[in-house]
Structure 1
Amino acid sequence: MQKLCMDKAIKLNWLKVIPLGKNRDQPSGTSSKSLKSSRTTSKNRRFAIYCTDTLDKLPFDDKGASYVRSLLFFNTLERGDVLIPLKKMVLKSTFKRYKLLRVLDIENIGLSSLPSDVGYLIHLRYLSLRGSWVSKLPSSIKHLRCLQTLDLRVLSFVRLRIPNVLCNLERLVHLYLPAKPFILRKQAPKLRLKGLNNLETLSNFSDKCKADDVCALTNLREFSSCNYLSDPDSILPLLGSPNSALVHLDHISVMLESSFLSGNPGALASCKALHKLWIRGTLSESISSIMLPDNIAKLTFSGTEFLEDPMPVLEKLPHLKQLSLKRGFYKGTHMSCSAGGFKELNYLELDGLEDLTVWTVEKGAMLKLFSLEISGCHKLQMIPDGLRSVGSLQEVIISYMPWSFFGYWTPEKSLDEWHEYRKVEHVTRIDISKVLHTQQTNPN
């Protein structure tokens, strides 16, 4: 379908795809012959440039500049960790000549900073730096008053320097901040968001942002955080407090420190928009006191150190699809999943539950489970017998488990020789790796 759409778009002169670089299937982007063959003078409005080598210039002439509306760069190298260098001067000249651009997508391209000339693109609606190594945004970005989508999800190791001018982009609808901590230029205390009255999506909110401003984003529909939050003033308005103006918010993915829940144990109960939740840190209360909302679909715990078996509470969540239980989640030795529990669960992860000894699964539990991962549960004695009746189970991944868990079986032997194999023989994929001897421990 994608090829059909692209062929039709190219035939209608709506799109032009230009392969550039040194590849056996593609012409060199640096040779004059290749540039001449790729150069266009027609009225193409959208260009997709597939790069396999350093890009020194774009194969366009000035005659078609007034028609270009979309410019997309793609890295086509097989290795995803290698970026194609894009020279800054290439973009500087492009921004000056193609001032009617509506879409600019620089995907997985090596570019250290965005030229200040981007301010010339006053008609730009969409700007994406996703997967690039851009480390600095120019303050001239404030002139992009028509911008509706801004994607700043650069590579995870890049500390992006952001000018505190994003609040001037009044037409912005979707804002994707970096997933890792960014740097505010001119030592601004917090990133201002007030004034983005049309904003519907705010992704990767962090303590670098001014929390009070979120309360004024009355059109906000989707919110996610990229670090653990603990300040009640920044969290409670998102969770549907009576005085909240965020009446349109219908999808929340948030990471919370346990200290917030200790002081506000019932804060989650009325949050109908909460779909994904991560909780980290010791909780003095039992899991039932947290009052998790029924609509939650993805749940992750780490370091909570619950003393009572949490499964009787978690298995009653009617829409829970993914559950990850990380190191320090539970300090008890026995855990049980009862019949009829976890009706919608399709993914379960047990990672680093070092005190867990016995895990039982009754017949009729987790009937939609598709994938199970067990890692670093060093005292767990065996796989539950109840997994025999989970016909939907297609994947079992086991790692960093002691040799004794496998009855001294090793992955070099046939699975038929593993004494627990009969419990999961119906599973399509069984992946066992990093079997530990008694002196070894999980490096994580």
Structure 2
Amino acid sequence: MSLIQVKSRDFDGSIKYCCIHDLLRDLAIQKAKEDNFLVVYSHPDCDQQSLSKARRVAVHHPDCDKLMMSQNLRTLLCFHGKALPNCSKQKLLKVVSNISLERIDLGMFEGLTQLRYMCLKGYLGDKYSGRDDKYGKRYLEKVIGTMNCIQTLQIDLGTRGQTFNTYNFLNCAWSMKTLRHVWTGSRRLELPPSTELSNLQTLEAVTTNESWKTGLPHLPNLRTLCLENKSCSWMVVADFLGTLNNLISLTLRGSFLGDIFDMRKFPFYQNLQSLRLWYDNSEETPSKMATDVFMLPPHLIYLQINCCHFQQDVMPVLENLHCLKSLTTCGVNKTHRKIRCLAKGFNQLEKLWLYNITMLEDWEIEEGALPTLRELEIYGCEKLCVPQGLRHLTNLQKLTWRSASNEGKENEIRNLCKHVPSLTLNYL
């Protein structure tokens, strides 16, 4: 009855987020409180007696540092960045989420040896980087090092404080044999060669280590990897990728990606479903990834290519990926003025994003191309003329075109896309 609606899906079609009506939410909170399943602290007059018995607490109000919570508390969710309740006495706590690192006493985590899930956000700051007290990085490393049951560790320190040495931050995590999922947000941790985590399934985001030349990390069950290469040759990285048998999602960032672009030699070649490539090359020289060696895994569902400067139009090659449902190209083909989508090409593609293809002038869409496309976004393609083939995209449900030159194209786009329910034209 659509009481619960899907808000967002992952690349493989699995559900990421759901949403509910506000009246249904109020009813759910009331029933959860009656059954002692969950208590939401949203105002100072919240029932303290219910809080003292609750096993799960969601905090939506900043004045919570003096809350008296049950010693049987299992889950603490925080949705603000100010003071936090002291949960050091809740020894059975298993889930701590959305905790801000700013202005909190890290001593609240002492003794929480039963934690399974931990999500920390915010910014410690350079002034805390070398401190051993309960506000410093070293103290946080010490506390996390005692959590022997952690399975999911998510730490997002933001982008501020570039002098903060995050590459050696939380190296104690690599000794946790129970780890299954690790996210580090915009900061990348350095993955040492001696790492051996047989249970690890998700690793985002890490960087290579010069010492990989003497030994490689051993992560036999890894399924999701986001790796940035700054210090190793891609031959070493290729040796590491050759040890991953179960990988289904891979993100690679660095220069000279062409050295390992032919993925047929990797054991995950037939299983990989999601691939993101970030080619860091400030000189914008042509990539080694010419179309004649464009050997991508055949069962890709999601593909994102950033700043890869190909020698030819890659659309005729990519359209042969018959399982592809989502394609994002950003800053590619900067020297090419035309791309072409052939009839019956991209027969499963549902989402297409074209970003910052600065020299692109003409996009030819043959009749019968992109038959299942539902969402199209064009951003920063200033020289692109309105593709007449847009009229052939009969299943298109959403078109977003952001460009500084849209003002003279608006009427033409609207005439071609009368069949599109959601049409957004923005001027940058």
In the alignment, is residue 18 of structure 1 matched against residue 21 of structure 2?
Answer: no
In the alignment, is residue 98 of structure 1 matched against residue 90 of structure 2?
Answer: yes
Q: Kindly state the Cα deviation for residue 361 of structure 1 after the two structures are TM-superposed.
A: 0.4
In structure 2, how many angstroms separate the alpha carbons of the residues matched to 1:370 and 1:229?
A: 41
Unpaired runs of at least 5, structure 1: 20-25, 28-33, 76-83, 183-188, 410-414, 436-444
In structure 1, how many angstroms separate the alpha carbons of the residues matched to 2:398 and 2:217?
A: 43
Q: Which residue of 2 aligns with 1:121?
A: 112
Q: Which residue of 2 aligns with 1:439?
A: none
Where 1:138 maps in the other structure, the secondary structure is helix
In the alignment, is residue 38 of structure 1 matched against residue 41 of structure 2?
Answer: no
Q: Map of 1:185-196 to 2, 5 A cutoff?
A: 194-196=195-197
Deviations 1:248-268 (A, max 9, x none): x2322212435132x334235
Q: Map of 1:143-154 to 2, 5 A cutoff?
A: 143-154=146-157
Q: Map of 1:186-265 to 2, 5 A cutoff?
A: 194-207=195-208, 215-225=217-227, 231-232=233-234, 235-237=237-239, 239=241, 241=242, 244=243, 246-247=244-245, 249-261=246-258, 263-265=259-261
In structure 2, how many angstroms separate the alpha carbons of the residues matched to 1:228 and 1:293?
A: 24
Amino acid of the structure 2 residue aligned with 1:69: R
Where 1:165 maps in the other structure, the secondary structure is helix
Amino acid of the structure 2 residue aligned with 1:252: S
Q: Which residue of 2 aligns with 1:56?
A: 65
Q: Which residue of 2 aligns with 1:267?
A: 263
Where 2:370 maps in the other structure, the secondary structure is coil
Q: Map of 1:243-392 to 2, 5 A cutoff?
A: 244=243, 246-247=244-245, 249-261=246-258, 263-267=259-263, 270=266, 271-274=269-272, 275-280=274-279, 281=281, 282-380=286-384, 382-392=385-395
Given the superposition, is the C-alpha separation of residues 43 and 350 from structure 1 closer, same or farther in structure 2, using an over 3 Å criterion? closer
In the alignment, is residue 396 of structure 1 matched against residue 381 of structure 2?
Answer: no
Where 2:33 maps in the other structure, the secondary structure is helix
Q: Which residue of 1 aligns with 2:83?
A: 86
In structure 1, how many angstroms separate the alpha carbons of the residues matched to 2:212 and 2:395?
A: 43
TM (norm. structure 2) is 0.77
Residues 228, 252 of structure 2: 8 Å contact kept: yes
Amino acid of the structure 1 residue aligned with 2:207: S
Residues 119, 142 of structure 1: 8 Å contact kept: no
Deviations 1:36-70 (A, max 9, x none): x425585432222222x35432233xxx42x2222
Given the superposition, is the C-alpha separation of residues 178 and 99 from structure 1 closer, same or farther in structure 2, using an over 3 Å criterion? same
Given the superposition, is the C-alpha separation of residues 237 and 252 from structure 1 closer, same or farther in structure 2, using an over 3 Å criterion? farther
Amino acid of the structure 2 residue aligned with 1:277: R
TM (norm. structure 1) is 0.74
Q: Kindly state the Cα deviation for residue 192 of structure 1 after the two structures are TM-superposed.
A: 6.9
Residues 86, 110 of structure 1: 8 Å contact kept: no
- Which one of the candidate residues 64, 68, 75 is aligned to 1:70? 75
Amino acid of the structure 2 residue aligned with 1:199: L
Q: Which residue of 2 aligns with 1:427?
A: 420
Where 2:171 maps in the other structure, the secondary structure is coil
Q: Kindly state the Cα deviation for residue 332 of structure 1 after the two structures are TM-superposed.
A: 2.3
In structure 2, how many angstroms separate the alpha carbons of the residues matched to 1:41 and 1:357?
A: 62
Given the superposition, is the C-alpha separation of residues 16 and 430 from structure 1 closer, same or farther in structure 2, using an over 3 Å criterion? closer
Identity across matched positions, percent: 25
Q: Which residue of 2 aligns with 1:23?
A: none
In structure 1, how many angstroms separate the alpha carbons of the residues matched to 2:419 and 2:334?
A: 30
Q: Which residue of 2 aligns with 1:440?
A: none
In structure 1, how many angstroms separate the alpha carbons of the residues matched to 2:175 and 2:402?
A: 50
